[in-house]
Amino acid sequence: MNSTLIQMTLLMACGVGWRILKPAGLTATHVRHVLTTFVYYLLLPAMVLEVLWTADIGVQSFHYALLGMSSIIFAMLCSWMVGTLFKFEHKRLGALILAAAFPNVTYLGLPVLEQTFGSWSRSVVIQMDLFATAPILFTIGIIVSRYYGEDSAENPKSALSFLNAPPFWAAAIAVILNLNGLIAPAWLLGVLQKLSAAVVPLMLFSLGLALNWKAIVARNLPYVMPVIVIKMLLMPVFAIALASYLPLEGKYKAAAVLDMAMPSMVLGVVFCDRYRLDSAFYAMTVTVTTALSLLTLPFWHSVLINEFLK
């Protein structure tokens, strides 16, 4: 795990370095937008198609969805209770709920799990993302954002708009092909694998571009503490407790729970900007929790080995 995190950190550091140096005058925001669009519309769908076409899809997919959705809802309730108890401002509370509940299951979870457990864990990550995190984010997450923020758009997107996205089209096609027993041609798998190979380094580089140390301000520290406790302590504990009751093989339980222990997802910044929540606070939580994950992920990995891989 330590060797894996060192590699991940160096790739993210390249993104941080780009943010500082701005080679060729290209800002981090511009580069990140291009890279994430490229990954989202081509590389990630290719990986989804490759992985789910050959994955073992069945009852365990339901178990991943149950584990992921339950953990996220648990974290949302915890953060809502904290914000209500201490009377947080609405825009900050909305950002806090998003930051505490939604982990970075793909952009950080994918490289960490693949390097830690092996290529088989990509299936776990993709299913946790497509069957658990994304459905909750684009339904309940949007409802929370609208309630605590502002929605001034003339044509607000549907809460089910996540279904109209390339990764979900690729997932639908892959599941149909998988369940019908169609075997992928070797030449097509080769193309998909080559496209998939670029996902991890580009995701980590983009994550480094998104980290903004200037977003860390002293006045927001008291509000970040609940996110750290809920996201990086209580949520993994809840996921471990729930996973112990699920009829999954130990290595799949460990991978799924570690995915839930990831820091706050970067995509939440888009929601904060869109619904005018406290974007500066959210950006700070992403930076702080990502930095702390270099310490917490090895800890949870060792706990999960003792719990599920004895």
pLDDT in tens, the chain (310 residues): 777 788 888 988 999 899 889 999 999 889 988 988 898 889 989 988 998 888 877 789 999 999 999 999 999 999 999 999 999 999 999 999 999 999 999 889 998 999 899 989 999 999 999 899 988 998 899 899 999 998 755 545 555 555 667 888 898 899 899 889 888 899 999 999 999 888 888 888 988 888 877 777 888 888 899 999 999 999 999 999 999 999 999 999 999 999 999 999 988 888 888 888 998 899 889 989 999 999 999 999 999 999 998 7
**Angstrom distance (rounded) from CA 168 to CA 212:** 30
Residue 144's alpha-carbon distances to 30, 95, 231, 265, in angstroms, are 28, 9, 17, 16
Domains and their CATH numbers in the chain = 2-17+28-308 (1.20.1530)
| Short-list 254, 265, 244, CA closest to 303 | 254
CA end-to-end distance (rounded Å), the chain: 17
| Short-list 275, 246, 293, CA closest to 113 | 293
| Short-list 261, 277, 45, 5, CA closest to 141 | 277
Please check whether residue 61 is in contact with residue 124, taking contact to mean a CB–CB distance below 8 angstroms.
no
Question: What radius of gyration, in Å, describes the C-alpha atoms of the chain?
Answer: 19
- 3 state SS for 67-86: HHHHHHHHHHHHHHHHHHHC
| Short-list 101, 67, 69, CA closest to 243 | 67
